[in-house]
Amino acid sequence: MPSDTARPHTPTSARFLRERDGHEARVTNVELFFDLIYAFAVTQLSHRLVHNLSAFGALETLVLWFAVWLGWQYTCWVTNWFNPERIQVRLLLFAVMLVGMVMAASLPLAYGERGLVFAISYVAIQVGRSLVVLAFLGRHHALTANFRRICGWLVISGIAWIAGGLLDGLPRFACWSAAVLCEYISPMFGFPLPLFGRSSAADWRTTEGGHIAERCQAFVILALGESVLVTGGTLSDLSAWTAPSIIAFLVCFAGSVAMWWVYFDTSSSAGSRAIERSSEPGLMAAYFHYVHVILIAGVIVSAAADDLVILHPPERIDWPTAWLLLGGPAIYVAGNGLYKRVVYGRFPLSHWVGLALLALVVPFAFHTDLLMTGGLTTAVMIVVAAWESISRRTSARTEDESLRTE
């Protein structure tokens, strides 16, 4: 999304905007309820990935994940401006949830017989929500021109989504890839359109940065929670609980805890402060969305890997399972590093070391089994989490002592 500067409220027919009284906009219960649909979508994508381990299958799942994230991201920005406690805004969220359920349910067969269902439901969410927001704003509000541009680009991408739904195979993948790029790239340039112009930094305004940061953090919790549920569900479905399967379950659970620790132990609260202190908080909030799509993709891939480790602990590694077991943690560590680059201004050394250790595991993995490789990746995640935790606490202690000295 484009960045913003604070502008005075324009008194128009936009009756449902959040009040900007200087206090941080809290995340409401209805927003958390809304997120449950996307938790379901994350589970669907993880299961799809397990059953489509080819390189092309992974790319197909990646495009679907980008679409799921875009639907959530654009709605997140709407609730950043509009008050979800108002009945009209709640009804909008419930309508998006209903269509989102259909979209998520169609994900496993999105490149098959339910492609058109997925495309229509996704376009209905993106375009329909934008049209309702324009009705909320009225013709003369300061945000109206921006949402007209957004709606215009979503209509353009929507044509590609529907066209892809009518096609099959590679043409469908090509159309949907183009649609995803359209929706991701257009905000970087201010949604430029003939006759409508483009959005500038001064055209955007958000509430306090804590809302966007907290919304992203809530999605990470949901994704990690779904990975834990997948782990428990896979163990539950086993006909016999053998020693290797129990050890695999413990290894996967420890990996999920380490992933939580890497993200939430020191940097989550700092995210809110980073947006609030930024000279362009809207641009900083946009960076949050761009890096979290990578970070959460790592959770999805790791959840698919955990499923395989618990189901087949003694199975030998091949290339598809290797990229799943090692790629998930690598994507997650890289996404966290980029996130902390945005928050702290640098990519942590602990994350560079974690990526290097995962690279060292690659040649060894082909000489062992799923359980051993899963154990090694979990060990790497624990090292990164412990290193980063100690590093941040030491840094915070040093800063406190420096302030007391001054």
Taking only the tens place, the pLDDT of each residue in 112-138 is 999 999 999 999 999 999 999 898 888
Model pLDDT, residue 52: 86
Q: For the chain, what is the mean pLDDT?
A: 84
Of 58, 56, 166, 53, give the one whose Cα is nearest residue 118: 166
Least confident of 92-101, 132-141, 267-276, 326-335: 267-276
pLDDT at 398 > cutoff 90: no
Q: How far is CA 74 from the centre of its chain?
A: 12
The DSSP code for 158 is: H
pLDDT-derived band of residue 13, with 50, 70 and 90 as boundaries? very low
| Residue boundaries of the structural domains of the chain | 29-203, 209-405
Q: How far is CA 217 from the centre of its chain?
A: 9
Q: What is the mean pLDDT of residues 52-56?
A: 86
String of DSSP letters for 69-84: HHHHHHHHHHHHHB-T
Helix (H, G, I), strand (E, B) or coil at 17: strand
Alpha carbons within 13 angstroms on the beta-carbon side of residue 214 total 16
Per residue in 181-199, pLDDT (tens digit) is 998 888 777 777 777 666 6
Task: Give the CATH fold of the 209-405 domain.
Answer: I/LWEQ domain (1.20.1410)
Q: Rounded to whole angstroms, how far apart are CA atoms 339 and 266?
A: 12
Helix (H, G, I), strand (E, B) or coil at 12: coil
Per residue in 356-396, pLDDT (tens digit) is 999 999 998 888 899 999 999 999 999 999 998 888 777 65
Of 144, 150, 234, 138, give the one whose Cα is nearest residue 186: 150
Q: Rounded to whole angstroms, how far apart are CA atoms 312 and 43?
A: 20
Model pLDDT, residue 27: 80
Residue type, 344: Y
Model pLDDT, residue 67: 93
pLDDT at 277 > cutoff 90: no
Per residue in 58-116, pLDDT (tens digit) is 999 999 999 999 999 889 888 888 888 889 999 999 999 999 999 999 999 999 999 99
Q: Rounded to whole angstroms, how far apart are CA atoms 172 and 111?
A: 8
Of 156, 181, 178, 153, give the one whose Cα is nearest residue 167: 178
Q: Rounded to whole angstroms, how far apart are CA atoms 214 and 265?
A: 14
